[in-house]
Chains A and B, each alone.
Chain A
């Protein structure tokens, strides 16, 4: 039982970490109706910004997480304005294809840029709090506990903003119907800018939070980018609630699946496949994902 609890707790922590990355992608999709294939690289940029803020300027690691979110927000806003805005102004003929190609291209560009600027070597961001905490017979890395708590706070704030504030209502309105939102005075272009900026800032925040746990390197975002895509399809494209539940499910299935797999010696070799298997099963039973809606195309 204790072993099961330890595994489940690990799955929960990992799930919370995944959620932070995935909700950003989900927010972007819900408003802009495009998948940001450079999301993993925004995660990576956040990690590097935070690393250098802490190591070069001696800024407190927790503070550097929020500063890195601001930096990645500004990068995201710039990207959206320069490269994605044309999709919504009618300047691009094949919108879906353009969005895929431009975000993929930016992802590759940022990987190579990071490789040249920061070097290919693995780095570790400073600990938030070093050491471990004992929970009965279980020991958990303090960084993971801090990151889980920060992830819960960030998600709670996001849900509050989206659910209760004017900006949140405006984002939801654009997400549901851009034209109707424009008629009532909401500027959809501004909301696009804001949604993309917040979405990538969340990824950047996740990257900077993960730095002390999973280490940082220019290619660190590739796997997490793929996982967050799996999560938002699993939870339902564009659903923040779905992204959170999908993340927790993925965290648990990876943690428990890899140790209770029929052949435990191969469990870790199939770890990344468990999420895809779960996704396939959910999509077979519910084609729009757990909380997805049918209306998902760009307009």
Chain B
């Protein structure tokens, strides 16, 4: 009996050791970073993780070896991003993809650069992320300046002359605020009226925006547009409180929540009817054309989750494929070889043909995908899916 137990114990030990050795020797680790818990934007993080897993399952092997996807939760906190990147570097990740929050991405690019880990940022928009021009950092999401300069032009085109904003004090929020300040300074709208832009910066933890919304409501003339430059709960609360005060959406004043949170079902659960006629942005909308790649991805994603994916999921999915293709092109997991391959890559992904610019002017264009799109939409019914919302500005697609 005793002998039998010893044999079983030894067999288990060998199996475990063999398994663990095999695990480190035979698998290629691909890293993922995303906010999976608050205070990060967990809705986005969750769908990004699912999209990454889908891509890895489909690719299966890299350089003939199975892939191990290791997704780290960064919680929307820069210090967690730094720790996550270090853990992935320690795990020998061939590269890392993902991230949603610019402040976190800003911390992660420092580790990527120091530890020579190729990093493909999926969905963080602050200019500085590629603006630092680190050789190991690439980005699929649009840079703030690339998109919000166009939003400023759209505002001029609709004849708005009094624009107000509540801005979260993060790299993303302050970056958009800077683009608007530059875009509106001394500018006239389509009617020839000088545009006034007033922004108020707020802590991400603020829950009561009433004092500032009352300030906006007291303005004469009334604001034409309230820009809600927040993510997560704050983004929902601004829409809700602006409506409760009778500020927006009204006949005089529209509201534009710019964060991705407005694309999820939680938006309607939290703001209800106040979300009708709100304006938002998305990196994908069916009216732009449903390519076979988009159709295939959307069908698979919906079958797996029962939810419509947003562009954040598509970017995360494409990021995994881009990194995998670069490794195959490099025929190596050596970081510099992977970076060289990423610089040459042309990959037909869900969101289009992805490649990375080598331009260094403006600074944020370095290793940036110039083809990243974003469009402006408006909800017309309560509970509407973003894919059914009215497209306001397809002209943004023009280069």
Contact = CB atoms under 8 A, between A and B. Distances in A.
Contact of B232 (A122, A132, A223, A256): A122
6 contacts: A10-B214, A139-B245, A214-B207, A217-B38, A268-B203, A272-B203
Interface in B260-292: 266, 269-270, 272
A127 to B, nearest CB: 8
B233 A122 contact: yes
Output the residue of A119, A222, A256, A265 with the most chain B CB within 10 A.
A265
Contacts of A256: 211
Contacts of B39: 219
B266 A271 contact: no
Nearest to B210: A10
A43 B346 CA distance: 52
Interface of B: 36-39, 42-43, 46, 166, 169, 198-203, 205-212, 214-215, 218, 232-233, 236-237, 240-241, 244-246, 266, 269-270, 272
A215 B212 contact: no
Interface string A156-175: 00000000000000000000
| Range, interface on chain A | 35 or more
B245 A268 contact: no
Contact of A215 (B46, B198, B233): B233
A269 interface: yes
Nearest to B38: A219
A237 to B, nearest CB: 25
B270 A124 contact: yes
Contacts of A187: none
Given A120-B37, A258-B211, A215 B237 contact: yes
Contacts of B218: 3
| 8 A-B pairs with the lowest CB-CB distances in the bound complex, closest first | A120-B42, A268-B202, A141-B244, A219-B38, A124-B270, A214-B207, A269-B201, A139-B246
Contact of B269 (A124, A222, A265): A124
A264 interface: yes
Contacts of A267: 200, 211-212
A57 interface: no
Given A214-B237, A265-B199, A271 B215 contact: no
A266 B201 contact: yes
A121 B214 contact: no
A255 interface: yes
B98 to A, nearest CB: 17
B233 A6 contact: no
Contacts of B43: 121
A10 B214 CA distance: 10
Contacts of A258: 211-212
Contact of B38 (A7, A115, A223, A272): A115
A200 to B, nearest CB: 21
Nearest to A218: B38
Contacts of B241: 141
A190 to B, nearest CB: 37
Nearest to A13: B210
B149 to A, nearest CB: 21
Output the residue of A14, A123, A268 with the most chain B CB within 10 A.
A268
A217 B38 CA distance: 8
A145 to B, nearest CB: 11
Contacts of A255: 208, 210-211
Contacts of A124: 269-270, 272
B243 to A, nearest CB: 9
Contacts of B207: 214-215, 223
Given A115-B38, A124-B269, A6 B200 contact: no
